[in-house]
Amino acid sequence: MRTKITVIGAGNVGGTTAHRLAEKELGEEIVLLDAYAGIARGKALDMVEAGPVCGYSTKVLGTDSFEDVKDSYITIITAGFPRRPGMTREELLLTNAEVVKKIVVEVVRVAPETIIIMVTNPLDAMAYLACRVSGFPRERVIGMAGVLDSARLRTFVAMELGISAENVQAMVLGSHGETMVAIPSLTTVAGVPVSELIPKERLDAVIERTRKGGQEILELLKTGSTFYAPSAAIAKMVEAILKDKKEILPCTAFCQGEYGIRDIFIGVPVKLGRRGMEGITSLPLTPEELKALQKSAAAIRPQCEEIERFLKGQ
């Protein structure tokens, strides 16, 4: 059987993600699905035509039919309404809940064994919704957040020090939003703790810029939102799953007591392999970092409760 990956939503994030997956030959077939068939088909054809130039032969199919999603190994959900300047992720919750619920129902119908990677905002709540609607085990519903936030932190630390971001290792956990939790104790530059290289007030400023990284780009673009870095983060997660890498990456996952957190989706260190989320790793957080993570969880919980009310009202 061909390894099929579906990307739902052919906007900037979805289209760029499909292109990255095709170019990296992650999966033998990429399905790009959108309610506007012409957009999905046009972008898919454009990607296929780039293949001979870039050296890949991945099959890319653009469609508006969920029948083409059948038997997808991984399904990436990017569809939904984007944030506008000044809009919080939380304000998107009920609007995008309607969209995501309909999508997940169809995905379960045609691809009941798929692994769902949620990208739609507000991320933590949408992952929770997907898990509730699908009935999938927690291993097969994860969200893309921490890989992106960690990349932003690495970038800003590198800018502060005037070095390559490849020399920076960082982990960002918690909500994909205002209560994001950077982990300074585990942030290093070529093995050296970042606290030894950047004064606390400057490091705090770097972390705050990371927290508002998406908003910064949103305000610069005026219309639309980020898509290059998010699509790169999604591709990294897909690669870890497809190649069974057992790689530890910060992802949104359903906690069942880990870090003292239960019954919500939140960004935690996850081992990714061919079965999806194969475990949540326990990191040696400082008491302050653990407290911040639990505070972030407390901020997410009302969103999950709102999702429960939404589902009961359907």
Q: Which residues are catalytic?
A: 176
Tokens 């990208």 correspond to 119
Read off the tokens for 127.
């992952």
Q: Which of 249, 230, 234, 118 is nearest to 173 (CA)?
A: 249
Q: Which of 103, 97, 30, 95 is nearest to 68 (CA)?
A: 30
The full DSSP string for 4-51 is: EEEEE--SHHHHHHHHHHHHTT-SSEEEEE-SSHHHHHHHHHHHHHHH
Preceding amide of 269 cis, omega within 30: no
Read off the tokens for 46.
């454009």
d(CA 20, CA 11): 14
Please answer whether residues 129 and 232 qualify as being in contact, where contact means their C-beta atoms are separated by less than 8 angstroms: no
